[in-house]
Every structure is written in structure tokens, then in C-alpha cells.
Structure 1
């Protein structure tokens, strides 16, 4: 006896039924398409399920545009890292042994997503394909890490690394390296060639000794030159107007293509490579889209940028709000659920990844591991207490209750909503806090911080300038946060509109 599967039996019944002129089974409606369908991308027309010419082009345009949006959002980390590298190179810090050092700290002339004025930054990029295994001699007292070309965590250095803040030699080896590993090094094995080194020096005891610690002890050189390395150069990036923020137009995809061409093919999964290849970016091949594809990718970049901004200001994922039990609080964190890999239970948090990479740079688990009295922790306020965008023509107030729980200091920095970098005003360092000269306490020991185009009378020391016609957002940084911040028994006020 011949046995038919359920699908085969259905197909046979359908064929016989059609031949006999019987009414089609109701189930066919679920697997068929009408000859004309109204959709969000227009009217689609078919002849008995076969797409007509106009429908073919409309659907493919939509597919290519959707894939462009997907590729943009899924690779923000990579394009952001590329933009930082090229921005530093344009400003004179090109090459692994040329360290970008903000000797007078970072002011608002420099466009770096949510960087701050309170930290001594030192940056560089490895070029393992050219230099081979590379040595990084880290000074004592540093806080640092290495990220790969997709801005994925590759290892800590300094206080949170294996040298535990005592300083030490790190060896960064290329992907697939099988050569000898000499003794005396802490080993880092990133999956890419171009890797971002981030070091942060504490200025708790003053800026000058922090700069001297870095310039006298930080060294970067190829392992092959260890016997006689070239001098490490330090390029002062302070007071320089340059841009490290990625574009949100067609050039975004040109930047991504540069990353794909530079890095090993297996730096990303076949699935991710497939999405990127679907829009014409393939390792070893030129990226040469025609005018149609350029138009669609330009539209995709606009849609993706809009999507990232919606996710930023109105996230719909859990773990973003610092005070989730208070529906009226807008204070949030950049790392949803304090998860710096964005992955949990075998699932990538796509929106969480976009939320962070669109608005910040550099990833290490140490950023989300809060220890009483150590490191730092952040609170973001991207909307006012009425959940409305901040208006640069108006006056707002942030109230910080007495006994702000920090071991070191606290600081409030204001940012431009377009660039996500420090807001450019007549205040070159748009930050105030417990270390600010002229900052005054209220009678009860609390603080009020004002955001306005002009300082309220008598509040000049507690004022951050805004720009009429522009929006802004702010970050409260807690350096050495104490238990009341961590357990949320102390919390900042919402940012209220005064007038």
C-alpha cells in the first residue's frame, strides 16, 4: 500500500479538486496571495501568485532597504570604532605607537560620543596585520581595556586587569596566531587586527602627575622590535576640533566596507556576513553600488538613525530604567540590565546593543560592575520630568539631596542630542560638580544644578549653559559611588522645568 504524507495528500486532493471544478479548500487561503494586495509599500499585483513586473521592483527595493537598516543597526559598534580611529588619525594620532592623549582633558571642541571632561584619556589602535604581535606596557594605576574592531570586549588592563593596577606588559596577538608566546606578558587574543586600546588615568591627585605617569611609562611597539623599539609618541589631542562620530548617511556603509576589507573573514558569523553581503559589501570585492542601491542605502541610513534615536529616548526593553518602580522617573543606564555583552540566555539584545553603541564608545564588564567606593557609575537623563525633550531656551533644575554618596567626586555633563558629544557653548568644559570652583550648597547640604541659556541670578557656579533652538541631555557621573547610590536609598531628583 502506498502511504502519502499529509502535505502530499492535501496537494493531491487540491489537484483533483481543481480538475473537477470543486471549491478550493479554506486552508488554501492561508498559503495563497490575492491578485492585488494593498501593503505599506504600495499595491502589489500578481497573476495567480506570480509577481508582475512593477511588483518585482517594489519588493526588491523594500528588501534591499530593510537589509540596509538591519546592517546599519547591527554594526554600529564596528563603524563607531572605525570613525574613532580615522578621527584620531586625521588629528595626528595615526599608528599604534602614536598615543592620543588629552593632556588638558577633553573639551567640547572634540566630538566623541558621551566622553567627559573629568577623565584623562589615552587612546590608540593596534594594526596586527602590519605589526604582528604587539606589546603594550601599561603604567600603574590605569583603568583600561581592549576592544576589537566590532567594539567587542577583548580584555581588561590596569586596575580591573590581571596586573591589578600595578602595571605590566600585555601582548596582543593577531587572530589565528600560532607562534611562540614569550614569558612575562599578559596575553590578549582579539578576533580582529584593528583593536581599540582605551586607558583612563585618575586625576584625583592632580592632572600633571597623571599625565607624567602615562608619558613616562606607557609604551606600545611590535614584539619583533622588543630589543630596540621605536619611541612611543604622545599626541596632545586637547583643544583640537576634530570628529570621531560616525555619519548617518550612505558613507556609513562605505566605512563598514573598509572594516570588512581590513579584518579576517571569520571575525563575524556567516549570518552577519550574509546580511552585509546582501547589500553588496563582500570581503575581497569592491563595494560599487549603482545609483538605485545608493539611494536605497541612503534611505536605510536615515531610517536606521531614526530608529536608534527612538530606542535612545523611548526604549521598550527592560533593564534600562534605574528606578523601574517609579513610572515617573526618567533616569536610565546605557547598559540595559548592566549587561555589557548585550547577550543573555543565548539571545542577542538587539535594541540594547544599539542603545549603547549609538550613544557611547568602549565596552568592558568593569563599566557595569559597581563596587562601593571604587570605579564609577552613571545616570542618564535624556528627557525632563514630564518626559519631554529638553528645550535649550528654557531653564531647568536638577536637585541632588544632601550627602551625595561618592568616595571621590560627582559631576554633571551636558551633551548635544545630535552629536551625542559635549554641548558646545561658551563653557568649553560643560561639566559642573563637587570639584567645581564656585559650586554652592543649599543650607541643608543639598545641591541644585541649573540648565539654562543664562545663569539664574546668584547661581553662576551651579549653572550649565544651554543653546536656544537646541535640545540636550545630561549624564550624572558618580566616581567612587557608595552604598546609598548602589542600593538606591539615595537618588537624584528628576530634572524639572523652572520656566
Structure 2
């Protein structure tokens, strides 16, 4: 029998030896910060997803799964930013078609009233919209376009311009024949004298038109002269779906519905070379070309978190565009579209820039975003007041508009919801409830010809005609549109002041 002192010593060393085989017993309290980790040998590392324990440079199954979950979550967040224009326009096509009973490929939906236009993400409320969605998988389409004062274009489903139509298009308002071919067609087969041939990078395309001629008779002329159909087939009259006055929404869905929409449209389109890395990142999330959307429970949870965080990230760069700066010194006004219409430069794909625009808006043509003096349009926006605070629904603000706004056509200010990015739903039913401008009747002017506009819960006494109402706690922003801006806008001798709180 061992002596008690000897027995104690043996027990002590046995415990020490046993503990030496449990690295985490001491190391858990001495975990390394991620930035200082060796990633070697026996180590416990503090990470945003908890402690990761390395044993001989490896980790256990639990740590492995947590790393996979984090990898896929981060990919889902970034995939939201990347896919924003594609999901937005697909939502628009699907929801508009359902709301307006679109049946034929030459059907056009006409949006004219506030309720109709309230479906469009940052839709303008001063000119009628005429929209058609077509699919080039069935063959090229031919457009016989009328002469006149119109602005429009054909967009692919990344909302990049295929071509402008009307005043900013090749016809320059004189009318012409256009042929639009799909991504797998040879455009040269359709080239002929007097025909403008363009190729879309996607099968799905949007044809969008705005009538700028203020004469109501021209709209009827336009409808009677516009013709569209498949190349080689006798063109048929287009059907115009008008005056339905139904509520609908083109705002992209949240939750799993967002990813289902993305999965469906991916299966409708060829994969562009530039998007192959994104397709690789989507595959572990259960979104893969040629396969239905059927994520397992783990993937569903990651996708739900990813779409929510992705939207928060996108909203952050929408209200704080770090790649840009205010257009005028000392103000908080930005050009809403501040990147290339092609969405890429020689070196990068402009993920953040286009996510900003297509989160809060739809469509882009060269005439919209790259105007020249006297042609095109400019969209200015702000989310902050003079003091740099975000605009609130429970405060009333004044916007002072100078007497001489540099436009060859007209200007307007339109109110939008930050939550939906659609025209603000304040209970109004008339267009002027959400937009005011140089064409608004009864607008009260100051003695010098300038205009003070008010946005908030209540109109200041005597300024009801110049007021747009906000409700509840839905933050808001505006687009100040300049149609056919002239030189003082470009040389910045014209400047808008910020909103200021009046009560």
C-alpha cells in the first residue's frame, strides 16, 4: 500500500496528465482574437459565430457546420445586392400582368391614375406610362415606332438599356423601325437600310413609353400608329389595357418569396459570363439553373436571414451612397442615377451603385440618366433635411424652389415611401396628393415667382395647395425631376436648397 503522501502526488500528476489531453480546458479562457489568430496547432479563436477550437490545426464537426452556415449566410446577403435589379423587374412583370389581366405578347398596360401608378417603384406621376413585357426566346420582335414627343426605351431584365425610343433614340422623335433580337440570335441577319437593330442580353425585355406631348389628341395618334410583333409575321394592332384603376405593387417581396422569384427568372435566362461567380455562390443555397427552387430547412433559415440583412445593407447604401457625393456643395441632394447604364466599367461590375438605384427605382435609359442640355431627364433625390437629419413623417418641412428652374419642358417633385419606394400612400386619390410641379394647377407662388412646397402631417395655414401629406411613421423621400434640363443645371449655377423643418 502506497504512503498517503505518495498517493497524493501520484493523483496530482495523473490529473495534470489527463488535463493535458484536453486542450480547451485552459485555452478556452485564453482565446485569441480573430485578427491575432495563428490558425495553427492547438488554438481557440473568438469569431462572430462563437469560438472555433483548433486541435492540431483541425476543427470538429460543430465548428465546421457553423463555418458553412456563416459562409452561406454571407453569400446570401451579397446575392441580394447583386440580384436586386433582376428580382425587381421580374416582380414588376408578374404582378402587373396579374393585376391588369395581360394575356397577349402585344398587350400594353397604361398607367395613368394615382392608384395605378402607386404600384410602380418611384414611378413618375406627371406623364402616362405605357408598358409591355416580351420574351425574345420565341424570336425577335419588330417595332414600328411613331414620330412625336415621346421618351422611352427597351430594357433587358437587368434593367440595362437595349435602346432608347423617341426623342432620345436613334429616330430622334421622327419615328423608325426597330428590331430587337435575343441573346442567342445573330443581329447581322436582320440588318437592312432604315432599320435599327439591337440585341438584348436577356430573353425577357421591357418596352416602356412615356408620352411627353401635352396634347391629348397625340396619345390617340400614337396608339393608332404604334405596331409591334414578331419579325416576319404581319404586325397586329396592340391592345391597350386602360383605366382599370386597381391597386398593385411592384416592390420586390421579402422572405423566401424573394429567392423563389430569383430562382424562377434564372431558369428563364442564359447565364452571362460576368454572373457565373454569383451562380456558384447561389448553388449551395438551393438556387441553381435548371433546377426548381426547393431549399431544405437549413437553407431556408439562411435565406430568410440573408434576404433581411441584404435589404438592410442595400437600404444603407441607398441612403448613404458612399461611392458618390452630393451634387451641390453644402446640400444633401444626390443625382439618383450616378453610374454607367451598362452597370460596369473596365474594371468592376457596379454592384453597390446599381443596387442603390434599383432598390428605390426601376428602369434606366441613356436619356434618363445621361441627359444633354435640353434633352433627357434628371432625377435628384434627398433623404435628409438641412441639418443632416433623416426626413420624418411626423414633422413638416418646406422646400424652396427657385423661380427659374432650368428646364426646357417642366419640373416636378414626387413623394415616395422609404419602406415600399413607391408613391406615398397617404390616403389620397389624386395625383397632386403625391406630386406637385410646374404643371400643377393652383400652385401658390411667391411674389418673385419662386414656390414653397410643404411636406408633412399638416399643411401650414394658407398653403394647402402646396402641401403633400405624410402619415404614421413611414419615412419618405422625394425625386425632383427636371425634364429637358438646360445649361444652368449642368454648370451648377442653379442649386436646390435642402428641406427645412417648419414645425
Alignment TM-score, normalising by the size of structure 2: 0.87
Residue 224 of structure 2 aligns to a residue whose secondary structure is: helix
Question: Secondary structure in 1 aligned to 2:182?
Answer: coil
The residue aligned with 1:181 is 190
Q: Deviations over 1:127-153 (max 9, x none)?
A: 1223x1211222223222211122222
1:434-479 Cα distance to aligned partner (Å, 9 max, x none): 1111111112222110112222111111111111322211111112
1:222 to partner: Cα distance = 1.3
Relative distance call for 1:493 and 1:64 in structure 2 (3 A) is same
Give, in whole Å, the separation in 1 of the partners of 2:420 and 2:360. 9
Structure 1 residue 109: deviation in Å? 6.1
Q: Between Structure 1 and Structure 2, how many residues are aligned?
A: 461
Q: Aligned partners of 2:436, 2:186: CA distance in 1, in Å?
A: 50
Question: Is residue 152–residue 209 contact of structure 2 (8 Å, CA) maintained in 1?
Answer: yes
| Aligned with residue 265 of structure 2, among 259, 262, 280 | 259
Cα distance change, pair 375–238 in 1 and its aligned pair in 2 (3 A)? farther
CA RMSD of aligned residues (A): 2.1
Secondary structure of the equivalent of 2:326? Answer: coil
Q: Which residue of 1 aligns with 2:141?
A: 134
Give, in angstroms, the shift of residue 36 of structure 1.
1.2
Alpha carbons of structure 1 residues 29 and 245: separation in structure 2 relative to 1, 3 Å: closer
Aligned to 2:450: 446
Secondary structure of 2:265's aligned partner? helix
Larger radius of gyration: 2
Q: Say which of 125, 140, 149 aligns to 2:133.
A: 125
Give the 5 Å matches for 1:283-294.
Answer: 283-294=289-300
- Give the equivalent residue in structure 1 for 2:50: 42
Change (3 A) 1:434 1:178: closer
Query: Is 1:420 aligned with 2:426?
Result: no
Give the structure 1 partner of residue 62 of structure 2.
54
User: Following superposition of structure 1 onto structure 2, how do residues 39-438 of structure 1 map, counting pairs within 5 Å?
Assistant: 39-91=47-99, 92-102=101-111, 104-107=112-115, 110-130=118-138, 132-141=139-148, 142-178=150-186, 180-181=189-190, 183=192, 184-203=194-213, 205-206=214-215, 208-226=216-234, 229-236=235-242, 239-266=245-272, 269-318=275-324, 320-323=325-328, 325-326=329-330, 329-336=331-338, 338-428=339-429, 429=431, 430-438=434-442
Secondary structure of 1:248's aligned partner: coil
- Which is worse superposed, 241-250 or 254-263? 241-250
Q: Are 2:473 and 1:472 aligned?
A: no
Do the aligned partners of residues 210 and 275 (structure 1) sit closer, same or farther apart at CA in structure 2, a change above 3 Å counting? farther
Structure 1 gaps, min length 5: 1-27
In 2, distance between residues paired with 1:357 and 1:267? 21
Q: Distance in 1 between matches of 2:478 and 2:116?
A: 14
Q: TM-score, normalised by structure 1?
A: 0.87
Distance verdict in 2 for CA 1:285–1:266, change over 3 Å: same
In 2, Cα distance between equivalents of 1:30 and 1:223: 64
